[in-house]
Structure 1
Amino acid sequence: MEKKVINPWSWQDARNYVQAVEVKHADSTLYVSGQCAISEEGISSNADMRTQIFHTIENLEKVIQSSGYEVQNLVRLNIYTTDSSELFENFDVIQQWLSKNQVQQTSTVLEVKSLFETLKVEFEATLAR
Protein backbone atom coordinates (compact mmCIF):
# COMPACT_ATOMS: atom_id res chain seq x y z
CA MET A 1 0.00 0.00 0.00
CA GLU A 2 1.13 3.52 -0.73
CA LYS A 3 -0.13 6.27 1.55
CA LYS A 4 0.32 9.92 0.63
CA VAL A 5 -0.58 12.78 2.98
CA ILE A 6 -1.79 16.03 1.40
CA ASN A 7 -1.45 19.19 3.51
CA PRO A 8 -1.49 22.52 1.66
CA TRP A 9 -1.09 24.25 5.06
CA SER A 10 0.77 23.52 8.29
CA TRP A 11 -1.73 24.70 10.93
CA GLN A 12 -3.43 21.29 11.18
CA ASP A 13 -0.17 19.70 12.41
CA ALA A 14 -0.82 21.00 15.94
CA ARG A 15 -4.25 19.33 15.87
CA ASN A 16 -3.01 15.83 14.94
CA TYR A 17 -4.76 15.36 11.63
CA VAL A 18 -4.17 15.91 7.94
CA GLN A 19 -6.25 17.49 5.18
CA ALA A 20 -6.29 14.42 2.93
CA VAL A 21 -4.86 10.91 2.65
CA GLU A 22 -4.47 9.22 -0.71
CA VAL A 23 -4.20 5.43 -0.60
CA LYS A 24 -2.94 3.52 -3.64
CA HIS A 25 -2.49 -0.19 -4.15
CA ALA A 26 -4.34 -1.14 -0.98
CA ASP A 27 -5.07 -4.83 -0.49
CA SER A 28 -8.07 -4.23 1.75
CA THR A 29 -10.08 -1.62 3.63
CA LEU A 30 -11.64 -1.94 7.08
CA TYR A 31 -14.66 0.19 8.00
CA VAL A 32 -15.15 0.22 11.78
CA SER A 33 -18.54 1.00 13.30
CA GLY A 34 -18.67 3.68 15.95
CA GLN A 35 -16.82 2.50 19.05
CA CYS A 36 -17.73 3.81 22.49
CA ALA A 37 -17.03 3.19 26.15
CA ILE A 38 -19.10 0.03 26.38
CA SER A 39 -18.00 -2.93 28.51
CA GLU A 40 -17.54 -6.46 27.16
CA GLU A 41 -20.94 -7.20 28.71
CA GLY A 42 -22.55 -4.42 26.65
CA ILE A 43 -22.96 -1.93 29.50
CA SER A 44 -22.58 1.74 28.59
CA SER A 45 -20.17 3.76 30.72
CA ASN A 46 -21.41 6.61 32.86
CA ALA A 47 -17.86 7.79 33.61
CA ASP A 48 -16.45 11.23 32.82
CA MET A 49 -15.33 12.24 29.32
CA ARG A 50 -11.63 11.48 29.88
CA THR A 51 -12.34 7.97 31.14
CA GLN A 52 -14.73 7.34 28.26
CA ILE A 53 -12.10 8.46 25.74
CA PHE A 54 -9.58 5.98 27.17
CA HIS A 55 -12.16 3.17 27.11
CA THR A 56 -13.27 4.08 23.56
CA ILE A 57 -9.65 3.91 22.37
CA GLU A 58 -9.26 0.49 24.02
CA ASN A 59 -12.40 -0.79 22.27
CA LEU A 60 -11.32 0.63 18.92
CA GLU A 61 -7.88 -0.97 19.27
CA LYS A 62 -9.51 -4.32 20.10
CA VAL A 63 -11.62 -4.25 16.94
CA ILE A 64 -8.64 -3.19 14.82
CA GLN A 65 -6.37 -5.91 16.23
CA SER A 66 -9.12 -8.56 16.00
CA SER A 67 -9.41 -7.70 12.30
CA GLY A 68 -5.70 -8.25 11.68
CA TYR A 69 -5.00 -4.57 11.06
CA GLU A 70 -2.70 -2.22 12.95
CA VAL A 71 -3.60 1.20 14.36
CA GLN A 72 -1.02 2.81 12.05
CA ASN A 73 -3.27 1.70 9.12
CA LEU A 74 -5.90 4.23 10.23
CA VAL A 75 -6.68 6.75 7.47
CA ARG A 76 -9.89 8.35 8.78
CA LEU A 77 -11.18 8.97 12.30
CA ASN A 78 -14.55 10.60 12.85
CA ILE A 79 -15.33 11.65 16.41
CA TYR A 80 -18.86 12.23 17.65
CA THR A 81 -19.39 13.85 21.05
CA THR A 82 -22.20 15.22 23.14
CA ASP A 83 -19.95 18.03 24.42
CA SER A 84 -17.26 19.52 22.17
CA SER A 85 -15.83 21.73 24.92
CA GLU A 86 -15.36 18.77 27.25
CA LEU A 87 -13.92 16.67 24.43
CA PHE A 88 -11.32 19.33 23.56
CA GLU A 89 -10.39 19.74 27.24
CA ASN A 90 -9.35 16.08 27.09
CA PHE A 91 -8.12 15.97 23.50
CA ASP A 92 -4.54 15.37 24.66
CA VAL A 93 -5.50 11.71 25.25
CA ILE A 94 -6.44 11.31 21.58
CA GLN A 95 -3.42 13.29 20.35
CA GLN A 96 -1.00 11.20 22.42
CA TRP A 97 -2.58 7.97 21.15
CA LEU A 98 -2.33 9.10 17.53
CA SER A 99 1.27 10.27 17.95
CA LYS A 100 2.31 7.08 19.76
CA ASN A 101 0.95 5.03 16.85
CA GLN A 102 2.38 7.37 14.18
CA VAL A 103 -1.06 7.90 12.69
CA GLN A 104 -1.71 10.63 10.12
CA GLN A 105 -5.42 10.52 9.45
CA THR A 106 -8.21 12.66 8.13
CA SER A 107 -10.68 13.54 10.83
CA THR A 108 -13.99 15.19 11.57
CA VAL A 109 -15.34 16.11 15.00
CA LEU A 110 -19.09 16.54 15.33
CA GLU A 111 -21.14 17.53 18.35
CA VAL A 112 -24.39 15.60 18.47
CA LYS A 113 -27.44 15.99 20.69
CA SER A 114 -27.02 12.54 22.21
CA LEU A 115 -25.34 9.17 21.84
CA PHE A 116 -26.54 5.79 23.04
CA GLU A 117 -27.61 5.79 26.70
CA THR A 118 -24.95 7.54 28.86
CA LEU A 119 -22.18 7.74 26.25
CA LYS A 120 -20.31 11.01 25.61
CA VAL A 121 -17.95 10.09 22.77
CA GLU A 122 -17.86 7.74 19.77
CA PHE A 123 -15.04 6.99 17.28
CA GLU A 124 -15.73 5.79 13.74
CA ALA A 125 -12.66 4.64 11.81
CA THR A 126 -11.50 3.59 8.36
CA LEU A 127 -8.24 1.66 7.88
CA ALA A 128 -6.41 0.53 4.74
CA ARG A 129 -3.52 -1.81 4.12
Structure 2
Amino acid sequence: MQKSIINPWHWQDQLGYAQAVEIPQATHTLYCAGQAAMDADGRPVETDMSGQINLSFDNLETVLQQANYSLANVVRLNFYTTSLGQFFAAYGQVMDRLAAVGCAPASTLTEVNALAFPQLMVEIEATAVK
Protein backbone atom coordinates (compact mmCIF):
# COMPACT_ATOMS: atom_id res chain seq x y z
CA MET A 1 0.00 0.00 0.00
CA GLN A 2 1.37 3.37 -1.00
CA LYS A 3 0.35 6.24 1.24
CA SER A 4 1.22 9.87 1.68
CA ILE A 5 0.99 11.69 5.00
CA ILE A 6 -0.16 15.29 4.67
CA ASN A 7 0.91 17.48 7.60
CA PRO A 8 1.10 21.21 6.84
CA TRP A 9 2.21 21.75 10.45
CA HIS A 10 4.38 19.84 12.91
CA TRP A 11 2.46 20.08 16.19
CA GLN A 12 0.45 16.90 15.51
CA ASP A 13 3.65 14.84 15.20
CA GLN A 14 4.08 14.81 18.98
CA LEU A 15 0.57 13.35 19.28
CA GLY A 16 1.22 10.55 16.78
CA TYR A 17 -1.36 11.31 14.12
CA ALA A 18 -1.63 12.94 10.70
CA GLN A 19 -3.83 15.74 9.42
CA ALA A 20 -4.59 13.63 6.35
CA VAL A 21 -3.55 10.35 4.75
CA GLU A 22 -3.80 9.85 1.01
CA ILE A 23 -3.98 6.37 -0.51
CA PRO A 24 -3.69 6.90 -4.28
CA GLN A 25 -4.72 3.42 -5.39
CA ALA A 26 -6.29 1.45 -2.56
CA THR A 27 -7.77 -1.84 -3.68
CA HIS A 28 -9.73 -2.61 -0.52
CA THR A 29 -11.23 -0.51 2.26
CA LEU A 30 -12.42 -1.83 5.63
CA TYR A 31 -14.74 0.30 7.77
CA CYS A 32 -14.68 -0.92 11.36
CA ALA A 33 -17.44 -0.32 13.86
CA GLY A 34 -16.42 1.29 17.11
CA GLN A 35 -14.47 -1.12 19.30
CA ALA A 36 -14.69 -0.82 23.06
CA ALA A 37 -13.68 -2.75 26.18
CA MET A 38 -16.02 -5.68 25.53
CA ASP A 39 -15.37 -9.35 26.21
CA ALA A 40 -15.96 -12.11 23.64
CA ASP A 41 -19.55 -12.50 24.88
CA GLY A 42 -20.40 -8.81 24.34
CA ARG A 43 -20.19 -7.76 27.97
CA PRO A 44 -18.41 -4.54 28.96
CA VAL A 45 -15.20 -5.03 30.93
CA GLU A 46 -14.94 -2.73 33.93
CA THR A 47 -11.41 -1.38 34.24
CA ASP A 48 -9.65 1.99 34.22
CA MET A 49 -9.13 4.13 31.12
CA SER A 50 -5.76 2.56 30.38
CA GLY A 51 -7.23 -0.93 30.51
CA GLN A 52 -10.16 0.10 28.33
CA ILE A 53 -7.86 1.62 25.71
CA ASN A 54 -5.77 -1.56 25.62
CA LEU A 55 -8.79 -3.85 25.32
CA SER A 56 -10.39 -1.60 22.69
CA PHE A 57 -7.19 -1.79 20.61
CA ASP A 58 -7.03 -5.57 21.17
CA ASN A 59 -10.59 -5.89 19.89
CA LEU A 60 -9.84 -3.62 16.93
CA GLU A 61 -6.82 -5.72 16.02
CA THR A 62 -8.94 -8.88 16.25
CA VAL A 63 -11.44 -7.42 13.76
CA LEU A 64 -8.63 -6.26 11.47
CA GLN A 65 -6.91 -9.66 11.56
CA GLN A 66 -10.18 -11.48 10.84
CA ALA A 67 -10.42 -9.41 7.64
CA ASN A 68 -6.70 -9.95 6.80
CA TYR A 69 -5.65 -6.42 7.73
CA SER A 70 -3.39 -5.14 10.49
CA LEU A 71 -3.09 -1.98 12.54
CA ALA A 72 -0.48 -0.84 9.99
CA ASN A 73 -3.31 -0.67 7.40
CA VAL A 74 -5.33 1.82 9.47
CA VAL A 75 -5.54 5.30 7.92
CA ARG A 76 -8.23 6.83 10.14
CA LEU A 77 -9.02 6.48 13.85
CA ASN A 78 -11.88 8.19 15.63
CA PHE A 79 -11.78 8.16 19.43
CA TYR A 80 -14.88 8.70 21.53
CA THR A 81 -14.34 9.12 25.27
CA THR A 82 -16.37 10.09 28.29
CA SER A 83 -13.34 11.86 29.81
CA LEU A 84 -10.76 13.80 27.83
CA GLY A 85 -8.65 14.20 30.96
CA GLN A 86 -8.45 10.47 31.65
CA PHE A 87 -7.94 9.72 27.96
CA PHE A 88 -4.99 12.13 27.65
CA ALA A 89 -3.49 10.76 30.88
CA ALA A 90 -3.31 7.35 29.14
CA TYR A 91 -2.59 8.65 25.62
CA GLY A 92 1.06 7.57 25.69
CA GLN A 93 -0.03 3.97 25.23
CA VAL A 94 -2.06 4.96 22.14
CA MET A 95 1.02 6.59 20.64
CA ASP A 96 3.20 3.60 21.56
CA ARG A 97 0.78 1.12 20.00
CA LEU A 98 0.53 3.08 16.76
CA ALA A 99 4.26 3.85 16.54
CA ALA A 100 5.13 0.16 16.99
CA VAL A 101 3.55 -0.58 13.59
CA GLY A 102 4.34 2.72 11.86
CA CYS A 103 0.74 3.92 11.92
CA ALA A 104 0.08 7.68 11.87
CA PRO A 105 -3.62 7.86 10.98
CA ALA A 106 -5.84 10.84 10.41
CA SER A 107 -7.68 11.08 13.70
CA THR A 108 -10.47 12.76 15.62
CA LEU A 109 -11.02 12.78 19.38
CA THR A 110 -14.42 13.63 20.81
CA GLU A 111 -15.72 13.71 24.37
CA VAL A 112 -19.22 12.29 24.65
CA ASN A 113 -21.71 12.11 27.51
CA ALA A 114 -22.07 8.34 27.31
CA LEU A 115 -21.25 5.28 25.23
CA ALA A 116 -23.38 2.16 24.64
CA PHE A 117 -22.90 0.87 28.22
CA PRO A 118 -22.37 3.02 31.31
CA GLN A 119 -19.13 1.18 32.20
CA LEU A 120 -17.47 2.16 28.90
CA MET A 121 -15.12 5.14 28.79
CA VAL A 122 -13.63 4.84 25.30
CA GLU A 123 -14.56 3.57 21.85
CA ILE A 124 -12.27 3.42 18.84
CA GLU A 125 -13.56 3.50 15.26
CA ALA A 126 -11.19 2.74 12.36
CA THR A 127 -10.87 2.76 8.59
CA ALA A 128 -8.19 0.56 7.02
CA VAL A 129 -7.04 0.16 3.43
CA LYS A 130 -4.83 -2.07 1.35
Q: TM-score range by the shorter chain?
A: over 0.9
Runs of 4+ in 1 over 4 A off after TM superposition: none
Q: Provide the rounded CA distance (Å) in 1 between the counterparts of 2:128 and 2:22.
A: 12
Unaligned 5+ segments in structure 1 are none
Amino acid in structure 1 at the alignment position of 2:64: I
Alignment of 1:98-109 (within 5 A): 98-109=98-109
Q: Provide the rounded CA distance (Å) in 1 between the counterparts of 2:46 and 2:32.
A: 23
Q: Provide the rounded CA distance (Å) in 1 between the counterparts of 2:13 and 2:20.
A: 12
Which residue is 2:35 aligned to? 35
Query: Identical aligned pairs, as a percentage?
Result: 41
Unaligned 5+ segments in structure 2 are none
- Deviation digits for residues 102-129 of structure 1 (CA, Å, limit 9, x no counterpart): 1011000000000121100000000010
Q: Deviation of residue 8 (structure 1)?
A: 0.8
Q: Provide the rounded CA distance (Å) in 2 between the counterparts of 1:114 and 1:67.
A: 29
TM-score (norm 1): 0.97
Q: Provide the rounded CA distance (Å) in 1 between the counterparts of 2:116 and 2:62.
A: 20
Which residue is 1:128 aligned to? 129
TM-score (norm 2): 0.97
Which residue is 1:119 aligned to? 120
Q: Provide the rounded CA distance (Å) in 2 between the counterparts of 1:41 and 1:28.
A: 29
Secondary structure class of the residue paired with 1:52:
helix
Alignment of 1:52-71 (within 5 A): 52-71=52-71
Alignment of 1:17-96 (within 5 A): 17-96=17-96
C-alpha RMSD of matched pairs (Å): 0.7
Which residue is 1:5 aligned to? 5
Q: Deviation of residue 54 (structure 1)?
A: 0.7
Which residue is 1:14 aligned to? 14
Q: Provide the rounded CA distance (Å) in 1 between the counterparts of 2:70 and 2:55.
A: 18
Alignment size in residue pairs: 129
